[in-house]
């Protein structure tokens, strides 16, 4: 089962003005992703996804120009061997580091898709799991900086659809952030689980101001208040309240996660399988988290490939936390590019697909009709 060819395809979908959301990264003007297609000599096609890294054309070029030649002809079932080759070429030395981890992720996910298809199993079974439900929260590019009444109404719509947990975007100003959280808590009561995400936009002083008040509001976690590099700051903020700190979508490989979790400041690890190095690396991160008795709640973004694979992954973990369900207004990468990536349950949980491999179908006409827009995704 040799790899015949590897191809990365960047895709961009503009977001119309009425659907744009403001958050810590800015105002969303388009959605990007990089799909990775691997075909074997046996005729099996696997699909993976690399995060856009705010530069989808660059990530796709890295896959096509630097990584694909290294793995073409390799045994598609030898995921470990392929990872060793790519780690040595791009992560051990003289490589592109973060960009390489992102690019490698799409290749790795596609290989797992191929392996599961080859044996006729859904991915969760190949990973050692079962078709068990995973709790979900409403996330994605949504619930941003908007008038409190509009935010309360958006949460009401999501709750009517079955969600029992939502993630509010903070990182604006402490005053406005706390006012929005307070409004949602007052309107929806204590039976709603509120998560918050500052998208790295706080200073340590801001985070120390906000954290004790979030504890009063019963917030279940404070995600990425600070830069990924500010380990000392995370430790300071962790001591300011009992609200757990979450982080990891901007950390890469098991090695960075080992440093992130050491010391206990971050209690909710959040690898993104399209960024961390793929499913192979995410499995190692999950094992690390399990050793610290921590649940793992992956970040998701992009297309239905990432989302479907993430649900399979969580269904195979003994320390599965939340699945981040995309409720973005511009959801075409989930609803049009791919088939439905998971089965929704009315109790606010999701089930992995029960078809061989990752289980999603790709609309290649949609893919061809939405080529790369080589411009920033946030204004």
DSSP state of 19: G
Coil, strand, or helix at residue 108? helix
163-214 pLDDT, tens digit per residue, is 999 999 999 999 999 999 999 999 999 999 999 999 999 999 999 999 999 9
CA–CA separation, 194 vs 214, rounded Å? Answer: 10
Coil, strand, or helix at residue 121? coil
344-379 pLDDT, tens digit per residue, is 999 999 999 999 999 999 999 999 999 999 999 998
CA–CA separation, 337 vs 34, rounded Å? Answer: 12
Q: Write out the two tokens for 113.
A: 């898709």
pLDDT for the residue 24: 86
pLDDT for the residue 95: 86
pLDDT for the residue 23: 87
Cα 129–chain centre separation: 20
pLDDT for the residue 68: 98
Coil, strand, or helix at residue 229? coil
CA–CA separation, 134 vs 247, rounded Å? Answer: 20
On whether the CB atoms of residues 198 and 24 are closer than 8 A, the answer is yes
The pLDDT > 90 percentage for the chain reads: 94
On whether the CB atoms of residues 329 and 15 are closer than 8 A, the answer is yes
CA end-to-end span of the chain, whole Å?
45
pLDDT for the residue 201: 96
Question: Distances in Å between the alpha carbon of 54 and those of 61, 209, 326?
Answer: 14, 30, 18
Can you tell me the mean pLDDT for 79-99? Answer: 93
**With the CA atoms of 48, 54, 55 and 61 taken in that order, what torsion angle do they form, in degrees rounded to the nearest 10?**
-20
Q: Write out the two tokens for 246.
A: 């979450």
Q: Write out the two tokens for 162.
A: 């079955």
The mean pLDDT of the chain is 96
| DSSP β-ladder status, 30-40 and 45-50 | antiparallel
Active site members: 299
pTM above 0.85, yes or no: yes
Q: What are the structural domains of the chain?
A: 3-120 (3.30.390.10), 124-351 (3.20.20.120)
pLDDT for the residue 36: 98
């Amino acid at each position: 089962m040799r790899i015949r060819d590897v191809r990365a395809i960047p895709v961009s979908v503009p977001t119309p003005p009425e659907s744009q959301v403001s958050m810590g990264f800015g105002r969303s003007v388009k959605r990007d992703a990089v799909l990775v297609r691997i075909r074997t000599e046996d005729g099996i096609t696997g699909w993976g996804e690399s995060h856009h890294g705010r530069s989808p054309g660059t990530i796709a070029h890295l896959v096509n120009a630097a990584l694909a030649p290294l793995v073409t002809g390799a045994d598609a079932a030898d995921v470990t061997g392929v990872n060793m080759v790519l780690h040595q070429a791009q992560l051990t030395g003289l490589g592109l580091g973060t960009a390489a981890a992102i690019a490698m992720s799409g290749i790795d996910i596609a290989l797992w898709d191929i392996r599961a298809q080859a044996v006729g199993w859904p991915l969760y079974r190949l990973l050692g799991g079962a078709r068990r439900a995973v709790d979900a929260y409403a996330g994605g590019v949504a619930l941003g900086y908007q008038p409190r009444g509009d935010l309360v109404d958006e949460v009401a719509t999501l709750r009517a659809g079955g969600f029992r947990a939502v993630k509010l975007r903070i990182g604006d100003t402490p005053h406005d952030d706390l006012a929005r959280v307070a409004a949602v808590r007052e309107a929806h009561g204590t039976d709603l689980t509120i998560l918050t995400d500052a998208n790295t936009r706080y200073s340590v002083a801001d985070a120390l101001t906000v954290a004790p008040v979030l504890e009063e509001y019963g917030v279940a976690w404070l995600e990425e208040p600070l830069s990924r590099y500010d380990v000392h700051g995370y430790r300071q903020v962790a001591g300011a309240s009992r609200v757990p700190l979450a982080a990891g979508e901007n950390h890469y490989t098991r090695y960075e996660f080992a440093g992130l979790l050491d010391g206990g400041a971050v209690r909710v690890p959040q690898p993104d399988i399209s960024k961390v190095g793929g499913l192979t690396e995410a499995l190692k991160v999950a094992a690390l988290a399990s050793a610290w008795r921590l649940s793992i709640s992956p970040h998701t973004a992009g297309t239905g490939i990432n989302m479907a694979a993430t649900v399979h992954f969580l269904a195979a973990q003994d320390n599965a936390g939340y699945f981040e369900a995309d409720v973005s207004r511009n959801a075409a990468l989930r609803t049009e590019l791919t088939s439905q990536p998971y089965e929704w349950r009315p109790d606010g949980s999701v089930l992995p697909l029960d078809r061989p491999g990752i289980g999603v179908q790709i609309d290649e006409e949609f893919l061809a009709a939405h080529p790369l827009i080589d411009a920033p995704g946030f204004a």
